[in-house]
């Protein structure tokens, strides 16, 4: 069999050297590493790069099962078998059959986008790791798998220049978010570069997009028709502006699609709390969440568990001092809302 099914990316990998080092170190010391984080943060791209860099350490190569398009958990074992290039079985692939086929192989398996098949992925990963002592798994998911021995690595946003600080143009490229914007911008507008005339707008743009790689890449695409200053002036309507993605990856084609994917994976109560918490313009604590979000279907004593669930699913991000915030909170992003749905309980944060 071939030594890899890791996909080849069409654009260069930018930054993330510290994160790559930590992922490689984690894979050297444990057999299941899960990259977590919200949509667009770069989990898949980091996993692909890490697997590409370490695959020579695995005698039988590195293999990738892309699960975003898979809806039936009963087909998970068959999809993983297909990613390894194993011949289909007449009765379909059961987890035990797959484990027997991979036993004795020293390989790395990348399970990409596990969140909508969480239980099935946990069962499969646990079974394979028990039956195949030389197999290691690198997973990406909005939520941890919950398998014993799992090491989780929350993927952070890319660094951006601090507010109120404007480094010289050459120094700006030391910030990964700025370098990503510059490189993707040059790909659509030959000759584009960060200079004294546009550096202020680019810095503010990367800050407003909070270092989220997907958002930055979609903004850079707009350089085909706009200047950085024009993009910045229109960024308030980020869902409308940042809509030109890769047609080969429709789930991550737009920020709205990424948020909708997260929203659809939540329970009805979690969806309701997410909508209501959108009234906060920044981070908030549990007391504020209970004051604003409880009522009309959410009991006050249930708010803590719902907030915990949204943090676990990478919808809300944990901040210092026991506070949390949602992606894009500074821009009052309300996220996806069902037709006719209520955005909140009618109360405003104190």
| DSSP track, 140-204 | EESS----TT-EEEEPPPPP-PPTT----HHHHTTSHHHHHHHHHHHHHSTT----TTTHHHHHH
SS3 31: coil
What is the pLDDT, as a whole number, of residue 151? 96
Per-residue confidence band for 9, with pLDDT thresholds at 50, 70 and 90:
confident
Per-residue confidence band for 27, with pLDDT thresholds at 50, 70 and 90:
very high
CATH fold, domain 266-331, is Arc Repressor Mutant, subunit A (1.10.10)
Which of 153, 209, 206 shows the shortest CA–CA distance to 176?
206
Q: What values do phi and psi take at 243, rounded to 5?
A: -125, 5
Q: What's the whole-model pTM score? A: 0.80
Q: What is the pLDDT of residues 73-84, one digit of tens each?
A: 999 999 999 999
Helices (H), the chain: 17-29, 43-54, 76-83, 95-102, 118-131, 169-172, 176-188, 199-208, 213-221, 228-233, 238-241, 255-264, 268-277, 286-293, 303-312
CA 28 to chain centre: 23
SS3 44: helix
What is the pLDDT, as a whole number, of residue 252? 52
Candidate CATH numbers 3.60.20.10, 3.20.20.30, 3.40.50.2300, 3.40.50.300; the one for domain 17-154: 3.40.50.300
Tell me which residue has tokens 């309507």. Answer: 237
Per-residue confidence band for 240, with pLDDT thresholds at 50, 70 and 90:
low
319 or 219: whose pLDDT is higher?
A: 219
36 or 335: whose pLDDT is higher?
A: 36
**What are the domain boundaries of the chain?**
17-154, 169-256, 266-331
What is the pLDDT, as a whole number, of residue 325? 74
Asked if the model's pLDDT at residue 192 lies above 50, the reply is yes
Q: What is the pLDDT of residues 334-347, one digit of tens each?
A: 444 433 333 334 34
Which of 103, 106, 147 shows the shortest CA–CA distance to 124?
147
Asked if the model's pLDDT at residue 144 lies above 90, the reply is yes
Q: Do domains 17-154 and 266-331 have the same CATH topology?
A: no
Pairwise CA distance, residues 116 & 142, whole Å: 9
pLDDT mean over 132-153:
95
Q: What is the pLDDT of residues 119-134, one digit of tens each?
A: 999 999 999 999 999 9
- Residue 314 sits at the vertex; the CA angle it makes with 309 and 319, to the nearest 5 degrees, is 90
- Please provide the average confidence, as pLDDT, over all residues in the chain: 83
């Amino acid at each position: 069999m071939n030594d890899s099914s890791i996909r080849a990316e069409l654009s260069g990998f930018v930054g993330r050297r510290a994160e790559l080092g930590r992922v490689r170190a984690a894979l050297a010391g444990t057999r299941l590493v899960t990259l977590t984080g919200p949509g667009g943060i770069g989990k898949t791209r980091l996993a692909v790069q890490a697997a590409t860099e370490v695959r020579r350490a695995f005698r039988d190569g590195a293999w990738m099962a892309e699960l975003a398009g898979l809806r039936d958990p009963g087909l998970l074992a068959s999809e993983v078998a297909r990613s390894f290039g194993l011949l289909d079985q007449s009765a379909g692939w059961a987890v035990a059959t797959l484990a027997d086929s991979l036993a004795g192989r020293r390989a790395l398996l990348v399970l990409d986008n596990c969140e909508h098949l969480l239980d099935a992925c946990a069962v499969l990963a646990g079974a394979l790791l028990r039956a195949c002592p030389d197999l290691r798994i690198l997973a990406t998911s909005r939520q941890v798998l919950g398998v014993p021995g799992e090491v989780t690595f929350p993927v952070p946003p890319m660094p951006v220049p601090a507010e109120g600080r404007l480094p010289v143009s050459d120094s700006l490229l030391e910030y990964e978010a700025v370098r990503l914007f510059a490189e993707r911008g040059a790909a659509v507008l030959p000759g584009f570069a960060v200079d004294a005339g546009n550096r202020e707008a680019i810095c503010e743009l990367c800050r407003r997009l909070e270092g989220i790689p997907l958002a930055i890449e979609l903004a850079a695409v707009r350089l085909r028709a706009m200047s950085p200053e024009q993009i910045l002036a229109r960024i308030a309507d980020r869902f409308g502006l940042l809509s030109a993605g890769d047609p080969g990856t429709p789930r991550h084609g737009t920020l709205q699609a990424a948020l909708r994917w997260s929203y659809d994976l939540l329970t009805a109560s979690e969806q309701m709390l997410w909508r209501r918490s959108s009234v906060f313009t920044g981070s908030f604590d549990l007391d504020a969440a209970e004051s604003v979000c409880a009522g009309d279907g959410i009991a006050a004593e249930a708010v803590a568990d719902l907030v915990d669930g949204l943090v676990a699913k990478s919808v809300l991000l944990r901040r210092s001092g026991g506070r949390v915030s949602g992606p894009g909170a500074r821009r009052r992003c309300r996220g996806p809302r069902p037709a006719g749905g209520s955005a909140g309980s009618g109360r405003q944060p104190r």
